[in-house]
Structure 1
Amino acid sequence: MTRVEQLRDLETAKQVAALLEAENARLHQRLEALVAEVAWLKGEDAQAHLQLELTQLKEQLALMQQRLFGASSEKRGARPPKPPRAKPQKGHGPRAQPELKVQEVLLPLDEADQVCGLCGSGLHAWEGQTEDCEEITVVERSFLLRRVKRQKYRCGQGCAPVTAPAPPRLIPGGRYSVDFAVHVALMKYGFHLPLARQERLYGREGLGVEAQTLWDPLEALARHLQKSYEALLAEVFTSPLIHADETHWYLLDKGPGTKWYAWTVASPDTVFHRIYPSRSGATARTVLGDYAGVVLVDGYAAYQTATKSGADGPCPATLAFCWAHVRRKFFEAQKFAPACKEALDLIGELYAIEADLPGWYALEGEERQAALAHRLTVRQQKSAPLTQRIRDWAHAQRALPGSAFRKALEYMLNLWAGLTVFLTQPQVPLDNNHVERQLRDMVIGRKNHYGSKSKRGTEVAALFYSLIETARLRGEDPGHYLRRAALAAIENPGTVTLPKVQG
């Protein structure tokens, strides 16, 4: 039986949704009869119980339809107008293109046309005078079969001949260069183009190659970069604050595949992905290791399990929780409970305070300490009283058990200790959006090539996503970085090369 999440065709999905809606209506009627019967047997108020059950079901159905077919934005009302620019740009004039190579083309008159139309005498070129315009064009990519000939030398005295050294090779005796493998990796993991589509694209450009053949240099490149990838985890754990999150990833080795999970930890300038078959608390414990700083996460219970005492001992990290997830709960419940507007307004005030605070990670020494001290002072003076207002408001509310409003209140209050860590730890932001942005490439890639065909494929995917996204965070071109790191590792196996922080 095909699962709903495996549907790819829009019309089929619409038909399934219609069937589900009809089934929901039938189940509502059946539930109404059963609840009334049970309440009558118990001698309780059937109408009150029925109303409670129906309210919960309507909320669940509305939320399901919103998630399936509604907009994903959580914006409330119109945005405030942006402040005017100092020099407003009028119209849609041509943008400067300083990165493009410039090719000058001089167009002369045909020799037959070099005659004056008025007097009939010959025309001659007016030196230095042209009428100019610009156009942006495309030069098609081309693949080149490079034949490398290593010059041999012989000694006049009959000694052993000498041959010029060989260039670095991605695979000993292989046909594909480091530059080619880097290009394939960027297309697949940087721009989400599956190998099968690359095969068709390159065929149009004159290169006959199969998807499996493209995988071979890709996997070889990953082997050369393995040590650099492993070093990223140590880089992440040097930060006093990390973000953690996870998303599903399919292993397509049998039938429709099995659901694995991409686990991510990220510092402000480094990302490290791993793909595991489980989403358990034990896996979360493995992911966090012995990290002893602050870990910003959502409300997923596995992270809380990982920091509790167990067979392997608790992870020493301190958990901080995400206010964006709290806000999302109240945003979804607002349709059914108008009182949520007050919570959303108060959370909005928290974010307004944060907008005026200085960043700290890019600073060093006394400047960093001054920025952290300022953040702590402002939060204690402004944010602490505001969070207390939010908590007092939550305790004063009354909501039906099982309702979206009740769940939002319980979600926030159950995580309260972690939600207020930011008041005493100035390096902690309000939300976990940073790591969710770093997971975006994996989600897009998952949609385009559906997952990995083997366990080794999951390892290679995690490696390239980690290295490419870290290079982007640090401002280095991912292609230049991969080439630099690969050549260093080929020349000296085991060499660790990390992306450079630009600027």
Structure 2
Amino acid sequence: MWHADETRWMVFAEMEGKIGPRWYLWVFCTPDTVVFRIEPNRSSQVVTDHFGDQATGILSVDRYSAYKVLLKSILILLAYCWAHVRRDFLAVAKDRVEHEPWALDWVKKIGQLYDLNKNRLSLLDTPEFETAQQNLQHAVDDMAISRDQQLTDSKIHHACRKVLESLERHWSGLILFVKHPHVPMDNNHAERQLRNSVVGRKNYYGSGALWSATLTAMLFSLFQTLNLWNINQRMWLSQYLLACAQNGGNPPDNAKSFLPWNMTADRLQELQITKSIDSS
């Protein structure tokens, strides 16, 4: 299971064939790792380069077209984000006051799906799970019926039709979570991983050189992965840099032992944060 997302990142460096300083910071997340990539564009080539032709599983994404290149293979399924669908209906409610009740009714339907799914997940491995599963499936089926009925209405406003047509096009990926309970309904996990970089972009406006942008992506990957493992970043860095110093200023020969998944249970416990940090 992966999550992926991307955001713009300014790199003030000249590159042959590249016009302007706008680059993109991509993030790819698993339950154990967070990987950032700095790329000159948002093309599907970034996605295919990252996953190659052997990866299998489910990728949670928004509806950006670059990810859809993976649908050419049956190895990776795309789970689309319900939070983005909800925003579509909220946009109609905001921009088209006359259609606000219609849009908010759909927002309510989506909220009910979230509630039903939350209840279902709380009943995993219990006798009540099957009933919760059926209730969720019925709600999804009813939503599809409402969508199709409204799309047959020739008088429906074009803004409303556009949202419903997008819902229909992405339906198979949107309901993937029904068959696979471990798949979340949205891609909020990847968006949260990008949050610090977005805040940083607003404060220091990107990178002044390509090497700096590459280093930034590497450090974002490192620190966000350590966060996943609840590891004290300062302690980890102190130990790693000490090992570099002891190796003559070079990476330690046992560098892989510093990766969380290669650590012993005792070492993980030593490095993990045991008390909540006051960030106020």
Alignment partner, residue 273 of structure 1: 36
1:401/1:344 CA distance change after superposition, 3 Å: closer
Superposed CA offset, 1:379-436 (max 9, x none):
5312111111111111121477883322211111100010111111111011100110
SS of equivalent residue, structure 2 residue 180? coil
Bigger-Rg structure (1/2)? 1
Structure 1 residue identity aligned to 2:85: V
1:350/1:477 CA distance change after superposition, 3 Å: same
Counterparts of residues 312-331 of structure 1 (less than 5 Å): 314=73, 316-331=75-90
SS of equivalent residue, structure 2 residue 55? coil
1:339/1:276 CA distance change after superposition, 3 Å: same
Alignment partner, residue 264 of structure 2: none
Is the CA contact 1:376–1:423 (under 8 Å) kept in the aligned structure 2?
no
Match of 1:411 among 160, 163, 166: 166
Shift of 1:291: 2.1
Is the CA contact 2:120–2:129 (under 8 Å) kept in the aligned structure 1?
no
Instruction: Output the aligned Cα RMSD.
Output: 2.7
Alignment partner, residue 64 of structure 2: 300
Alignment partner, residue 46 of structure 2: 283
1:384/1:272 CA distance change after superposition, 3 Å: same
Q: Where does the alignment leave 5 or more consecutive residues of structure 2 unmatched?
A: 261-267, 275-280
Alignment partner, residue 390 of structure 1: 143
Is the CA contact 1:399–1:405 (under 8 Å) kept in the aligned structure 2?
no
Alignment partner, residue 13 of structure 2: 253
Alignment partner, residue 226 of structure 1: none
Is the CA contact 2:59–2:79 (under 8 Å) kept in the aligned structure 1?
yes
Is the CA contact 2:120–2:132 (under 8 Å) kept in the aligned structure 1?
no
1:400/1:476 CA distance change after superposition, 3 Å: farther
Alignment partner, residue 122 of structure 1: none
Match of 1:498 among 256, 259, 267: 259
Counterparts of residues 416-455 of structure 1 (less than 5 Å): 416-455=171-210
Task: Please give the alpha-carbon distance, in whole angstroms, between the structure 2 residues aligned to 1:433 and 1:252.
Answer: 29
Alignment partner, residue 263 of structure 2: none
Task: Please give the alpha-carbon distance, in whole angstroms, between the structure 2 residues aligned to 1:495 and 1:245.
Answer: 29
Is the CA contact 1:249–1:260 (under 8 Å) kept in the aligned structure 2?
yes
Is the CA contact 2:147–2:164 (under 8 Å) kept in the aligned structure 1?
yes
Shift of 1:307: 3.0
1:277/1:346 CA distance change after superposition, 3 Å: same
Structure 2 residue identity aligned to 1:325: H
Structure 2 residue identity aligned to 1:433: N
Is the CA contact 1:330–1:340 (under 8 Å) kept in the aligned structure 2?
yes
Is the CA contact 1:285–1:307 (under 8 Å) kept in the aligned structure 2?
no
**Is 1:342 matched with 2:105?**
yes
Superposed CA offset, 1:421-471 (max 9, x none):
111111101110011000001111111111112221121111111111122
Task: Please give the alpha-carbon distance, in whole angstroms, between the structure 2 residues aligned to 1:472 and 1:451.
Answer: 22
User: Quick one: higher RCO (CA 8 Å, sep 6+), 1 or 2?
Assistant: 2
Shift of 1:257: 4.7
Task: Please give the alpha-carbon distance, in whole angstroms, between the structure 2 residues aligned to 1:466 and 1:495.
Answer: 16
Superposed CA offset, 1:337-371 (max 9, x none):
23122211111111112333557xxxxxxxxxx94
Shift of 1:376: 6.8
Structure 2 residue identity aligned to 1:262: L
Task: Please give the alpha-carbon distance, in whole angstroms, between the structure 2 residues aligned to 1:375 and 1:286.
Answer: 43
Counterparts of residues 146-161 of structure 1 (less than 5 Å): none
Alignment partner, residue 472 of structure 1: 227
Is the CA contact 1:296–1:320 (under 8 Å) kept in the aligned structure 2?
yes
Alignment partner, residue 212 of structure 2: 457
Is the CA contact 1:245–1:265 (under 8 Å) kept in the aligned structure 2?
yes
Hey, which of these two has a bigger chunk of helix by percent? 2
Q: Where does the alignment leave 5 or more consecutive residues of structure 1 unmatched?
A: 1-240, 309-313, 360-369
1:285/1:425 CA distance change after superposition, 3 Å: same
1:399/1:440 CA distance change after superposition, 3 Å: farther
Task: Please give the alpha-carbon distance, in whole angstroms, between the structure 2 residues aligned to 1:287 and 1:373.
Answer: 38
Q: TM-score, normalised by structure 2?
A: 0.79
Task: Please give the alpha-carbon distance, in whole angstroms, between the structure 1 residues aligned to 2:158 and 2:32.
Answer: 40
Shift of 1:483: 2.2
Q: TM-score, normalised by structure 1?
A: 0.46
